[in-house]
Amino acid sequence: MPDLPSDEIAFVDLASQRARLEPALSDAIQNVLCHARFIMGPEVEQLEEELAAWSGAAAAVSCASGTDALLLALMALDLGAGEAVVVPSFTFAATAEVVALLGAVPVFADCAPATFNIDGSTVDDALATARGLGLRARAVVAVDLFGHPAGYTELEAVADAASARLIADAAQSFGGSRDGRQVGSLAPVTTTSFFPAKPLGCYGDGGAVLCTDPEIARRIASIRVHGQGEHKYDHVRVGTNARMDTLQAAVLLHKLRIFGDELVVRRALASRYDYHLRGRVETPTVDEGVVSTWAQYTVLIDERDRVASELAGAGVPTAVYYPVPLHMQPAYRAYPSAPRMNVAEALAGRVLSLPIHPYLTEAQQDHVIEALLATLRV
């Protein structure tokens, strides 16, 4: 095993980022404490404007988490019992959870082997499953796994043909783009998360819904605050409380200033991994025209668990996203899935995500690469 670098390698390094943002970040937090408009304070509106500008969406509605963003997007469709929503199986639980929470049926789709995202053919299979069960498919939720935007042009055609709406779960891909269009303008409704470990994270939970139609954004903003109508005690629909705290908006406004620069570093790290690892392990595939956020750099590897534990021994933290596909989870296995789910099932046993964050030094990355290659020589 190569020698450990003197400084510890973090999987996500929020401390270095914070040091870079100080003292302005603490001043911004202090400012919120002073003005005391903790709910829907001025920073929230400013953040929404900046998120819309960043993404090319017509409007952004901030909210309390990525999960709430998905919930709001589905509530805006009046999704109800007996209706279906196609979701990928190889994703974080939140994508399917919100569907079940609303009394509707998540129908699991497999994913494409190259990008791990759903594509037209996997969605078609899941739509056929829904039809076979007499379920009306109201929506298709695509996930931009690991930061790689899905093929929305193709997905929109497939969803349209089934009279279903297309929603992008961009919890990992805010800041990415496809064919020159930013995430947030690739699908009619895009949800994202500002969980601390996401590429753009706050200091707690946070999220947003980005809409290309300002009318849908207004509807979602109303659902976010108890279905509010003309005034505070006018409730025109059933809503919820899913507001983002002003403190989180203040943090995000500062993180946005360096976000573009951080994404450049993530891309450079991904290219270095590609260069040194290609041919030795299966490295990530990036579709033509895609700019990924590199939320994760995930390789496919045999004997993944042995490799991960040897890497841990060499001071290299790794993660497995995701060890069990959703259609095999206790909470979801009773829900329908497409007839063949073999890609998701095979990926779960072979994926390994390596450290990739904007504060990873080249020396640290070299150590990760050497340590990984060393495990392959055993």
Ligand X SMILES: *Cc1c(COP(=O)(O)O)cnc(C)c1O
Cis link prior to 322 (omega < 30° from 0)?
A: yes
Stretch that binds ligand X, among 62-70, 148-156, 254-262, 270-278 (CB under 6 A): 62-70
139 burial via Cβ count (<10 Å: 0-12, 13-18, 19+): buried
Residue 113: both structure tokens together: 């082997």
Question: Which amino acid is residue 259, in one-letter code?
Answer: F
Distance CA 299, CA 136 (A): 37
CB 314, min distance to ligand X, A:
27
Distance set, CA 7 to CA 10, 259, 316, 355 (Å)? 9, 24, 11, 14
If one asks whether residue 216 binds ligand X (CB under 6 A), the answer comes out as no
Stretch that binds ligand X, among 63-71, 74-82, 240-248, 304-312 (CB under 6 A): 63-71
Contact set for ligand X, span 223-282 (CB under 6 A): none
Give the closest residue to 55 by CA, choosing from 144, 123, 118: 144
330 burial via Cβ count (<10 Å: 0-12, 13-18, 19+): exposed
Question: What are the beta bridge partners of residue 60?
Answer: 210
Distance CA 295, CA 147 (A): 5
If one asks whether residue 335 binds ligand X (CB under 6 A), the answer comes out as no
Q: Report the residue number, 66 or 188, with the smaller CB distance to ligand X.
A: 66
If one asks whether residue 99 binds ligand X (CB under 6 A), the answer comes out as no
Question: What are the beta bridge partners of residue 88?
Answer: 109
Q: Report the residue number, 87 or 372, with the smaller CB distance to ligand X.
A: 87
Task: Give the HSE-up count for residue 23: Cα atoms under 13 Å, Cβ half-sphere.
Answer: 3
Q: Report the residue number, 92 or 335, with the smaller CB distance to ligand X.
A: 92
Among 207, 239, 284, 325, which residue interacts with ligand X (rule: CB under 6 A)? 207
If one asks whether residue 364 binds ligand X (CB under 6 A), the answer comes out as no
Stated as kind and residue range, the H or E segment containing 224 is: helix 214-224
If one asks whether residue 173 binds ligand X (CB under 6 A), the answer comes out as no
Q: Report the residue number, 195 or 335, with the smaller CB distance to ligand X.
A: 195
Stretch that binds ligand X, among 126-134, 164-172, 254-262, 352-360 (CB under 6 A): 164-172
Among 17, 172, 212, 222, which residue interacts with ligand X (rule: CB under 6 A)? 172
Cα dihedral value 195, 197, 199, 205, nearest 10? 10
Binding mask 132-151 for ligand X (x = CB under 6 A): -----------x--------
Among 92, 116, 152, 335, which residue interacts with ligand X (rule: CB under 6 A)? 92
CB 94, min distance to ligand X, A:
4
Among 55, 65, 117, 129, which residue interacts with ligand X (rule: CB under 6 A)? 65
Residue number, nearest CB to ligand X:
66
Chain residues in the site for ligand X (CB under 6 A): 65-67, 91-92, 94-95, 143, 169, 171-172, 193, 195, 205, 207
